[in-house]
Amino acid sequence: MNYNNKTKEELITEITLIKNKDNELQQIKERYQFLIENMGEGLGIVDANECFTFVNPGAEEIFGVPAGGLTGHSLNEFVTPEAFSRLLEQTNLRRLGKKSRYEFELQRPDGEKRFIRVTATPVFDNDHIFIGTLGIFFDDTELRRAEDTIKDNETRLRTITDSAQDAILMMDSMGMVSFWNPAAETILGYRAEEAIGKDLHNLLVPERYLKAYRTAFSEFQHTGKGNAIGKTLELEARRKDGREIIVALSLSAVSFQNTWHAVGILRDITDHKNTEVILRNALEKAETVNRLKIGLYL
């Protein structure tokens, strides 16, 4: 820069502009530093050999190390040999200029294992030579544990419903079958794939009762209430083969996403009711015979 032909005022103006730009750059630098240091995710840069050259406090927290405990250390120190081999495969993709997202299991120095999700971006120098990776780390441990808990609970629930002797079925807010256990297949004759997604009333309710059921269901849709809710009732149901059976049905209302669904536990009591009729007829006959005998002795 040639200052010889500049007046004092011009020099002061240029110097002022330079200082202002330096101040602006410093402010930008401070903003980025603030964002990097306070972002919830971990951020780090590793070189071509997977050694950390830069990290933010979020990364140190995820990896379970004190401040400065990552810089100069390799990812190899925090994962199993098998996991590190997979990380190197991802690095090879970035050597080709490809971004990638992947997960790995982290083993912190205190022995705790964490599940980490990474968004990785390749870093090249001015000569387009690969020099490392910029990684953003998300700790998915709690989410993974919650998912595992949900899966375990689903497995337990499936085991219970699959082994139940009573039919367990669920109807959504539109009256469609949303769950159908193996006992329901046995008792009602429909396989699960035949029943799920179908109108429950059309499947099971005898034609002569359909109108009354639909009227009651309309009230249930709006209020979650009805004469059958919270009770065990003896009803007639129609099987797939058209045969009508007598069932004991316990019905409960469940609110889900601001709509009402129904869960029913159903037992075939046809044989039991037939036996009751036979016993009642036998008892009546016996009483008639006794009365005749008594009449003979009078």
* Cα–Cα–Cα angle for 168, 171, 172, rounded to 5 degrees: 145
Structure tokens at 132: 């490392």
| In a domain? residue 93 | yes
Instruction: Say if residue 77 is in the same domain as residue 130.
Output: yes
Query: How far apart (Å, rounded) are the C-alpha atoms in residues 159 and 139?
Result: 32
If asked whether residues 206 and 237 sit together in one domain, one would say yes
Q: Is residue 81 part of a domain?
A: yes
What's the domain range around 49? 39-145
Domain match, 94 and 179 both: no
d(CA 79, CA 108): 8
Report yes or no on 24 lying in a domain: no
Examine the domain organization and report whether 131 and 171 are in the same domain. no
Q: Which residues of the chain have pLDDT under 70?
A: 1-6, 8, 10-12, 14-16, 18-39, 282, 289-298
Tokens of 296: 């003979």
Tell me: do 180 and 125 sit in the same domain: no
Nearest to 105 by CA among 122, 86, 119: 86
| pLDDT, position 283 | 76
Do 43 and 98 share a domain, yes or no? yes
| CATH number of domain containing 105 | 3.30.450.20
Reported as a single tens digit per residue, the pLDDT across 45-83 is: 999 989 999 999 999 999 999 998 999 999 999 998 888
Residue 276, pLDDT score: 74
Identify whether residues 224 and 137 lie together within a single domain: no
Residue 197 covered by a domain: yes
Number of domains in the chain: 2
Going 30 to 31 to 34 to 37, the CA torsion angle's sign is negative
Residue with tokens 């004469």: 227
